[in-house]
A = this chain, B = another copy of it.
Amino acid sequence: MSEDFNPSCPFPIQNYPQVLLAHGGGGKLMQQLIEKMFATAFDPMSKEGLHDSISLNLPGKRIAFTTDSFVVRPLFFPGGDIGTLAVNGTVNDLAMSGARPLYLSLGFILEEGLPMNVLWQVVCSIKKAADTAGVTIVTGDTKVVDKGKGDGIYINTSGIGVIEHSLHIVPSTVKSGDLVIISGDVGRHGMAIIATRESLNFESAIESDCAPLGGLVLQLIKADTEIHCMRDLTRGGLASALNEIACAAHLGIHIEEALVPVREDVAAACAIMGFDPLYVANEGRFVIFVAPQDQAKVLEIMRKHPQGQGACCIGSVQSKSQTNVVMKSKIGANRLLDMISGEQLPRIC
- Tally chain A residues at the interface, Cβ within 8 Å: 90
Interface centre among A26, A146, A151, A236 (most CB of B within 10 A): A26
Instruction: Decide if B342 touches A29 in the complex (CB within 8 Å).
Output: yes
Q: Is the interface of A mostly helix, strand, loop or mixed?
A: mixed
How far apart are A138's CB and chain B's nearest CB, in angstroms?
6
> What separation, in Å, do the CA atoms of A300 and B99 have in the docked complex?
45
Instruction: Decide if A26 touches B235 in the complex (CB within 8 Å).
Output: yes
User: Is A209's CB within 8 Å of the partner chain B?
Assistant: no
User: Is A234's CB within 8 Å of the partner chain B?
Assistant: yes
Instruction: Decide if A171 touches B51 in the complex (CB within 8 Å).
Output: yes
> What separation, in Å, do the CA atoms of A143 and B240 have in the docked complex?
16
How far apart are A176's CB and chain B's nearest CB, in angstroms?
17
> What separation, in Å, do the CA atoms of A254 and B138 have in the docked complex?
32
Instruction: Decide if A66 touches B343 in the complex (CB within 8 Å).
Output: no
In the complex, the chain B residue whose C-beta lies closest to that of A144 is B346
A54-62, A118-126, A305-313: which lies at the interface: A54-62
Instruction: Decide if A59 touches B61 in the complex (CB within 8 Å).
Output: yes
Interface centre among A21, A63, A103, A231 (most CB of B within 10 A): A63
User: Is A274's CB within 8 Å of the partner chain B?
Assistant: no
Residues of B within 8 A of A160 (CB): 63, 65, 160
Instruction: Decide if B59 touches A340 in the complex (CB within 8 Å).
Output: no
How far apart are A155's CB and chain B's nearest CB, in angstroms?
9
Instruction: Decide if B51 touches A97 in the complex (CB within 8 Å).
Output: yes
In the complex, the chain B residue whose C-beta lies closest to that of A347 is B145
Instruction: Decide if B346 touches A105 in the complex (CB within 8 Å).
Output: no
- By a beta-carbon cutoff of 8 Å, the part of chain A in contact with chain B is 20-22, 24-31, 48-71, 92-94, 96-97, 99, 103, 105-109, 138-141, 143-146, 148-151, 154, 156, 158-161, 163, 168, 170-172, 231-232, 234-237, 240, 244, 248-249, 281, 339-347
24 A–B contacts from the bound complex (CB under 8 Å): A21-B347, A26-B340, A27-B341, A30-B235, A48-B170, A49-B172, A50-B248, A52-B94, A52-B231, A52-B232, A53-B64, A53-B66, A55-B63, A56-B63, A65-B105, A65-B138, A66-B105, A71-B109, A71-B145, A107-B158, A145-B154, A145-B347, A148-B148, A149-B151
